[in-house]
Amino acid sequence: MDTKIYDVAVIGSGISGLATAKCLLDDQFDIVVYEKTSGIGGLWHFREDAYGVMRFTHINVSKYNYCFSDYPFPDDVPDYPHHSHMLKYVQSYAEHFDILRHIRFNTKVISIKHKNNGLWTVTSVMVDKDGSEVGPSQATLFKYVAIATGHHAIPKEPTFEGQESFKGDIIHSISYKDAVTNGLVGKRVVVVGIGNSAVDVVVNVAELGGTKPVYISTRSGAWILPNHVAGYPTDLYACRAFLWLPWQLSSWIFGCIVRCVFGSPWKWGLNPKMGALQTQPTVSPTLVHHIQRRNVIVKPNIAKLESENGVFTDGSKAQVDTIVCCTGYSISLPFLDEKIRSVVVEEGTNKMNLFKSVFSPDIGPSLAFIGFIQPASGGLLPVSEIQARWFSAVCKGVAKLPLRKTMLKDIKQKNLYLENRYFASSRHTIQEDPIIYNDQVSAYFGAKPQFWRNPSLAWNLLIGSCGAAQWRLQGPHKWVHAKKVVKSTPMTPMMQCFGFLLLLIPAVLVSIVVCRIWCY
């Protein structure tokens, strides 16, 4: 056993783990980062024979809202970076902030236990490239632990009636690289699901030679969003002025905008069972294009499988060689002590009983979960970083958690809100709007952007997305270049008009009241 007591263990060196490590190093903590593979980047590290992004994957959130707050993307990177851009970016970040020397590569965490003296025992073992254990395990003591392994852990693999008689192949998107690599050229393919991975797969199969039409099967339907609206990345339309509206109104407005771009989703057979902002956005600039040309056909759920056919719930059939299941993932924390795991995660669901998705009211501030969120209107990276900064502030003692009963009440209210707003699905149990969420969390350690302290940026902060740097304008480790970066983040003309309208309506109402009083 390692006799040294370290300050913090960080589990995982994906984007959430790297952000956590950097924030802790900013506060001079002695840390160890555990990474079970040979490289950083998590799912953004493309590997031919392992879990990660597909060969053709681009980020579906723009570089302005999917970046570190004090380390922007280079200017020559496109609005929606390819995974190779993303990996190069995170590697540059890790080198710039000297994170790599704190990482124990090829080291798998096998258990995390809380000792009676308040310390945490992290037991790990070296593994080879296949994940097989090599050598003895090692136990190390820590004062704090941050788990940043992500919520894409165990693939959900559905079963279908008649599956045993089906002669074709059924794979999960976790093993999908592209249509050529997976041998789908000339094959008849059904893609199950209609999230971002599903639409990427169905378009890839259609474009790289799968037998047309390619089918996409969905039980809930979807609103498909473009990458750009009126020439601007779609996520730049997310702003405080819009997100402060009642969600029912903002969902209706956004649905009208989507109709203006693609037409009614019902026209293309997408048949969403929810409002435009009542589900995780599915972003694709080309899916509707392929539906229009009958390269892709939308079908309802698969009712059963026959030897060479898929039978859908509307009674229609399609000949099928391969089914690709893009059906999501379950959260898995096998290394956590069973007592702790049962407190944090509801078994069989993706519900996590955490205050602001970070801390358990029953465990306290010594254990944090970083990146266990599904962003509704932006990227995960700035969210993970805000969580990491909060955790570091708590570890340092400059921020404190609320009382246990206050945290439990907040968790209950959040779960009720999610149930009322979002379509019932396990993918919506950890949903958050990044701007609103980051404002809430950053307020706990003094980094919430204040309009009165940044008057020259007030308009940007109201009707612009502003990017990740806005949470470096003030508070601990504020960044000298934050103001410049916030100002350089594009603001859309449409949201500027929306902002002027919001200001005009109260002015008109006041004028009417004054006139009526004056006249009478």
Q: Could you say which of 329, 357, 385 is where a domain stops?
A: 329
Within this chain, do residues 405 and 322 fall inside the same structural domain, yes or no?
A: no
Which tokens is 519 given? Answer: 């006249």
Query: Is it the case that residue 428 has pLDDT exceeding 80?
Result: no
Residue 487 placed within a domain: no
Within this chain, do residues 286 and 362 fall inside the same structural domain, yes or no?
A: no
Q: Give the percent of the chain with pLDDT over 70.
A: 97
Convert the pLDDT of each residue in 105-130 to its tens digit: 999 999 999 998 889 999 999 999 88
pLDDT of residue 57: 94
Question: For the domain that residue 128 is a member of, what is the CATH number?
Answer: 3.50.50.60
Query: Is it the case that residue 457 has pLDDT exceeding 90?
Result: yes
Q: What is the pTM of this model?
A: 0.94
Residue 40 placed within a domain: yes
For the chain, the average pLDDT equals: 93
Q: Provide the domain limits for residue 274.
A: 154-329
Identify whether the C-beta of residue 342 lies closer than 8 Å to the C-beta of residue 350.
no
Q: Please classify residue 249 by burial: count the beta carbons closer than 10 Å to its beta carbon, then call 0-12 exposed, 13-18 middle and 19+ buried.
A: exposed
Within this chain, do residues 15 and 119 fall inside the same structural domain, yes or no?
A: yes
Residue 515 placed within a domain: no
What kind and span of H or E run contains 194? Answer: none
Q: Could you say which of 329, 359, 384 is where a domain stops?
A: 329
Q: What is the Cα Rg of the chain in Å? A: 24
Query: Is it the case that residue 507 has pLDDT exceeding 70?
Result: no
Higher pLDDT, 391 or 331: 391
Within this chain, do residues 145 and 261 fall inside the same structural domain, yes or no?
A: no
Identify whether the C-beta of residue 288 lies closer than 8 Å to the C-beta of residue 224.
yes
Query: Is it the case that residue 1 has pLDDT exceeding 70?
Result: no
pLDDT of residue 520: 59
Identify whether the C-beta of residue 442 lies closer than 8 Å to the C-beta of residue 463.
no
Report, as an integer, the average pLDDT of 196-209: 95
Query: Is it the case that residue 204 has pLDDT exceeding 90?
Result: yes
Query: Is it the case that residue 510 has pLDDT exceeding 90?
Result: no
Query: Is it the case that residue 386 has pLDDT exceeding 90?
Result: yes
Q: Could you say which of 329, 348, 382 is where a domain stops?
A: 329
What are the phi and psi torsion angles at 282 (to 5°)? -110, 120
Within this chain, do residues 168 and 148 fall inside the same structural domain, yes or no?
A: no
Residues 31 and 24: their CA atoms lie apart, in Å, by 8
Residue 502 placed within a domain: no
Please report the beta strands in 161-259, taking only residues with DSSP state E, as ranges in sequence order: 169-172, 189-192, 214-217, 224-225, 228-229, 232-233
Number of domains in the chain: 2
Within this chain, do residues 138 and 249 fall inside the same structural domain, yes or no?
A: no
Query: Is it the case that residue 432 has pLDDT exceeding 80?
Result: yes
Lowest mean pLDDT among 132-136, 178-182, 272-276, 384-388: 132-136
Query: Is it the case that residue 414 has pLDDT exceeding 70?
Result: yes
Within this chain, do residues 97 and 23 fall inside the same structural domain, yes or no?
A: yes
What are the phi and psi torsion angles at 360 (to 5°)? -90, 125
Within this chain, do residues 196 and 221 fall inside the same structural domain, yes or no?
A: yes
Identify whether the C-beta of residue 485 lies closer than 8 Å to the C-beta of residue 469.
yes
Please report the beta strands in 57-200, taking only residues with DSSP state E, as ranges in sequence order: 103-104, 107-114, 120-126, 138-147, 154-155, 169-172, 189-192
Residues 215 and 519: their CA atoms lie apart, in Å, by 66
Within this chain, do residues 223 and 281 fall inside the same structural domain, yes or no?
A: yes
Within this chain, do residues 139 and 37 fall inside the same structural domain, yes or no?
A: yes
Residue 394 placed within a domain: yes
Residues 80 and 344: their CA atoms lie apart, in Å, by 34
Residue 479 placed within a domain: no
Residue 511 placed within a domain: no
Within this chain, do residues 73 and 147 fall inside the same structural domain, yes or no?
A: yes
CA-CA distances (angstroms) from residue 297 to 226, 270, 301, 391?
A: 19, 9, 13, 46
Within this chain, do residues 95 and 113 fall inside the same structural domain, yes or no?
A: yes
pLDDT band with cut points at 50, 70 and 90 for residue 41:
very high
Residue 449 placed within a domain: no
